[in-house]
A and B are shown apart, each in its own frame.
Chain A
Amino acid sequence: MFDAAEVERIRNDFPLLGHYQEQEAGGRRLAYLDSGATSQKPLSVLEAEQEFYERRNAAVHRGAHQLAVEATEAFEDARAAVAGFVGAGEREIVWAKNATEALNLVAYGFVNASAGLGGPEAERFRIGPGANLVITEMEHHANLVPWQQVAAHTGAELRVIPVTDAGRLDLERAEALVDSATAVLAFTHASNVLGTVNPARRLVDLARAHDAVTVLDACQSVPHFGVDLPALGVDFAAFSGHKMLGPTGIGVLYGRAELLDALPPFLTGGSMITTVDYQQASFMPAPQRFEAGTQPVAQAVGLAAAARYLAETGMDRIAAWEEHLAGRMLAGLQEIPGVRVIGPEEIGQPGDRLATVAFDVEGVHAHDVGQFLDERGIAVRVGHHCAQPLHRRFGVTATTRASAYLHTTEEEIDVLLGTVAEVRGFFLR
């Protein structure tokens, strides 16, 4: 875990945080408690991108000149760095524009295979009526809507593992819902609303027992604690660069090598083919077969710098600090009259809850709560956080969500708590 001095040192690495600290005297302070939506960037990430453009920018995997070779090297080194960060092999990492695109890539791989594309290797991804796809009630729309599309294309049934009132997955129901007809079990590693961390290993075992493909939404896990994807045993996983200190415009799909090589491509065009004639084309092996068109090269370089920054700081220490903040936030919020936490109210075992806390303030809409907090320089997210069905499940249309990261201080949490305590007095006057 960090001490206050270390958090201060970390904060100094983030130019945006420094900018608002300087302005504090002038009145505008910023407590950024919206890292769950997107994270701020340390200087090393900004510099890595700039350095790439200043010294090594050229088309990758295309040119024969020296600069192109260097750009390609930077690009592939970035892949290796990100792969290493999640314990994967280089060939198991595919770049996408964000996690949403990465999840669609897998979903449309199933759709394309089911339409007959991909040859005999793609057999494993062919599904039709009678098959089922299992997701959970706590999915972000990014890991829900694409599976609805797969169901619509193939006639497969979409099943949903319920969430308990306490905000945890109902694992008994999961065991009943996953069966021999299950083609896919797609679930989030950590909920962007409830903060729940799901028992991934256990769910993977369940899926494997029925020969189902697992797809992990790792958007909220990879940024916040150490994740070894091969050790979890998932078949596919997706995460976004911008939530883990990296640039926007880049996301990552992880896939076990043998599956990636067999999955039909999603986007097609240049850079992903071996030979093309007017009637057909054959495709490169993974990861190139999924990387059609010019890639987000500088962003990949920036993301690798982010992974390095996180690894050097230490994922276990980051996780411990965030867990400490989560405990403080949960305890404090629950002391405020009229405030209800949506999600686990406490940390059960170490590692089972993020410092992402959604809550409802009785009698005051989340939008109004957010406006009140913003007026005091506290940035939180309000709304349904791309999880409408989950909000409906908890009987609300919107919540206020505070999410911490490695640079969040205890003081920021306390300012949040003190300000939330004033909300009802203002609006119910």
Chain B
Amino acid sequence: MSLEQLYQQVILDHARQRHGNTVPISGLPEVPRPPYFGHSHQVNPTCGDEITVEVERREEDGRIVLRWDGQGCSISMASASVLSELAQEAKPDEVAPVMAGFQALMHSRGQGAPDEELLGDAAAFHGVSRYPARIKCALLAWKAFEDALRQASADYPDENGDRSTGAGRNEED
């Protein structure tokens, strides 16, 4: 496996042009919190990478509004960017299979064939699963997202909202 397969151009591009990367409002006391809101800060203590993901469930249709900010390697930043692209304005039950698919891919030890239709740009991360030290980098944003989504959905008045957190069972990091 070559370094080019690990660091595919899509990944490097996402690491530079970060989708959804803005200042999180959870750190801004003057900005009121939306009603269905969650935020999660995750760090990778071995290398100091960190990320904050915020999820808002839109009041009118329950769709996801995602914001994130962080510092880290190209894998972790690109992964957050790709996640943001996939989850923005989606319904929780639309992203649940994507999350499950991405987690499964990350734990596939290089064996998994990515479902490009389901995963979109996230399929480009399949090479990461061969590098145990980097899986955590790829999953950092997804872990934060899962946590933030669970909080945002806690009081949202739909049953799907609850089911959407089903992916929360995959707790490996």
Contact = CB atoms under 8 A, between A and B. Distances in A.
Interface size class of chain A, counting residues whose CB lies under 8 Å from the partner chain: 10 to 19
A136 to B, nearest CB: 20
A367 B3 contact: no
Interface residues of B, number: 20
Contacts of A427: 7, 12, 74
Contacts of B71: 397
A429 B47 contact: no
Contacts of A365: 72-74, 77
Interface of B: 3, 6-7, 9, 12, 46-50, 71-77, 131, 134, 137
A382 interface: yes
A24 interface: no
Contacts of B12: 427, 429
Of A365, A366, A384, A391, the most chain B CB neighbours within 10 A belong to A365
Closest 8 CB pairs of A and B: A367-B73, A365-B73, A383-B47, A384-B48, A397-B48, A375-B3, A398-B48, A368-B73
B32 to A, nearest CB: 30
Nearest to A383: B47
A282 interface: no
Given A371-B134, A427-B12, A383 B3 contact: no
Of A371, A391, A429, the most chain B CB neighbours within 10 A belong to A371
Contacts of B137: 367
A383 B73 CA distance: 10
A426 interface: yes
24 contacts: A364-B74, A365-B74, A365-B77, A366-B73, A367-B73, A367-B76, A367-B137, A368-B73, A368-B74, A368-B75, A371-B3, A371-B131, A375-B3, A382-B47, A384-B48, A388-B48, A397-B48, A397-B49, A398-B47, A398-B49, A426-B3, A427-B12, A429-B9, A429-B12
A127 to B, nearest CB: 30
B131 A367 contact: no
Interface string A382-408: 111000100100000110000000000
B49 A372 contact: no
Given A397-B50, A398-B47, A398-B48, A367 B72 contact: yes
A364 B72 CA distance: 10
A388 B71 CA distance: 14
A384 B47 CA distance: 6
A398 B3 CA distance: 21
A384 B131 CA distance: 20
B6 A371 contact: yes
Nearest to B6: A371
A367 B71 CA distance: 12
A426 B7 contact: yes
Of B12, B48, B75, B131, the most chain A CB neighbours within 10 A belong to B48
